[in-house]
Amino acid sequence: MANPTTNFGWQMPTSTDLVTDLPADFEVFGQAVDTALVDLKGGTTGQILAKATNTDMDFTWITNDVGDITAVTAGSGLSGGGTSGAVSLALDLASANVFTAAQTATRFIVTGSTVATNGMYLIGANSLGFSTNSAVALQINATGETSIGSTAPTVGRPLTINKTLTGNVNAYAININSAIQSDVTSNAAYVRTFPSTAAAAFTCGSLFNFHAGALNLGAASTVTTHYQFYAEATSSATNNYAFYSDIVAGTNRWNFYAAGTAVNYFAGRTGVGVLLTTSAQFGVTNQQGTGEVTVLTRNFAAQTANSISVQSSAATQIWGVSAAGLMQYISGNTATTVGATGAASALPALPTGYIKIDIGGTTYKMPYYAN
């Protein structure tokens, strides 16, 4: 019997086979067909035949999903669908899609420039805006400047707050209420600045670590009291400083420099070179050196008022030094006689002693008498 090539390699009878060969040929052929189709046997009602592996004639019976799909309809947020053939669905990016679960992505690129009810949008090229309740809340421009409020950020101002203060009788543009935790045992600062300049040859005219600008009053509005810097009363710490400066002495260095022409007011005890806690309202101690003047007064040009004036609680002068350098006394502090103790109406011939004074660099003696 010949063995021609077939799809499944079955041995087929040929026309040249003898009649006596046919039974054997059919036996070989039938056995091959039976072996090849054995996977078609079995199964139950409702099952369908499926490939078990990639091998030819390797099948298995499986239970098919119940029901027939007659159409695929794209719902809200989807596009595509169909009733026959290959059906595809895609996310409809032109629709307002709502995701209720957390979404993860490598990046999110905004392309719309319309102010969102609540969300993010483009305020310009490479610039982002954030809105709440259909109003601009925060903006970031292409160079990173940020503004809070509806006004666009300005180049050169990393952070600008132009949000109107409203909604409460007490309003604060910046309000820091963070509590210092127990692990902060060295230093804590709620506002800290460390200015620096670039490594280049240039001059910055003025540098302000803190700049309190003048108040700009709107039409018909008034402000009762304007505090450009206010430190509330506190005594909680071991040492309490409303203002503490630690600038080392040197040319054009000032711990405190009040250039304004308004009066300066110090209600507490004030010490210059000395820490006053009791016994005096004002004190001066020379801390600089033996060649330094402890207290210096310098007259105004063509001054007529006294250089020094000591007054009573009623603002009446008790003693003073005139602009010309003459000492002045009230009439009650002068006398023409010694008094009852000296038992004489006129001054004695000999004084009790003398007071030394310096006039023009020469020392003189002034007599004094017992009362």
- What DSSP assignment string belongs to 36-101? HTGGGS---TTEEEEESSSSTT-EEEEEPPSS----EE--TTEEEEESSSS--EEE-TTS-----S
What's the domain count of the chain?
Answer: 3
The torsion angles phi and psi of 364, rounded to 5 degrees, stand at: -120, 165
Assess if residue 49 is contained within a domain. Answer: yes
Assess if residue 227 is contained within a domain. Answer: no
Confidence of residue 19 (pLDDT cuts 50, 70, 90): low
Q: Return d(Cα 78, Cα 92) in angstroms, integer.
A: 5
H/E stretch holding 31 reads helix 22-36
Q: Return d(Cα 340, Cα 113) in angstroms, integer.
A: 101
Of 139, 162, 185, the one marking the end of a domain is 162
Of 65, 84, 102, the one marking the end of a domain is 65
Assess if residue 168 is contained within a domain. Answer: no
Assess if residue 61 is contained within a domain. Answer: yes
Assess if residue 125 is contained within a domain. Answer: yes
| Contact status, residue 160 vs residue 153, Cβ threshold 8 Å | yes
Assess if residue 278 is contained within a domain. Answer: no
Question: What's the alpha-carbon Rg for the chain, to the nearest Å?
Answer: 51
Domain that holds residue 154: 110-162
Mean pLDDT over 54-83 rounds to 85
Assess if residue 349 is contained within a domain. Answer: yes
Torsion angle of C-alpha atoms 145, 150, 152, 156, degrees rounded to 10: -40
Work out the burial of residue 126: count CB atoms within 10 Å of its CB; fewer than 13 is exposed, 13-18 middle, 19 or more buried.
exposed
Comparing 111-115, 169-173, 354-358, the range with the smallest average pLDDT is 354-358
Of 135, 162, 189, the one marking the end of a domain is 162
Q: Return d(Cα 140, Cα 158) in angstroms, integer.
A: 9
Confidence of residue 27 (pLDDT cuts 50, 70, 90): confident
Residue 202 CB partners (closer than 8 Å, separation 6+): none
Token pair 């060649």: residue? 291
The answer to whether residue 250 scores a pLDDT higher than 70 is yes
Assess if residue 122 is contained within a domain. Answer: yes
59 plus 114 within the same structural domain: no
C-alpha torsion sign, points 283, 287, 290, 294: negative
DSSP 3-state of 20: helix
Comparing 10-24, 66-80, 327-341, the range with the smallest average pLDDT is 10-24
Mean pLDDT over 101-117 rounds to 90
Mean pLDDT of the chain: 88
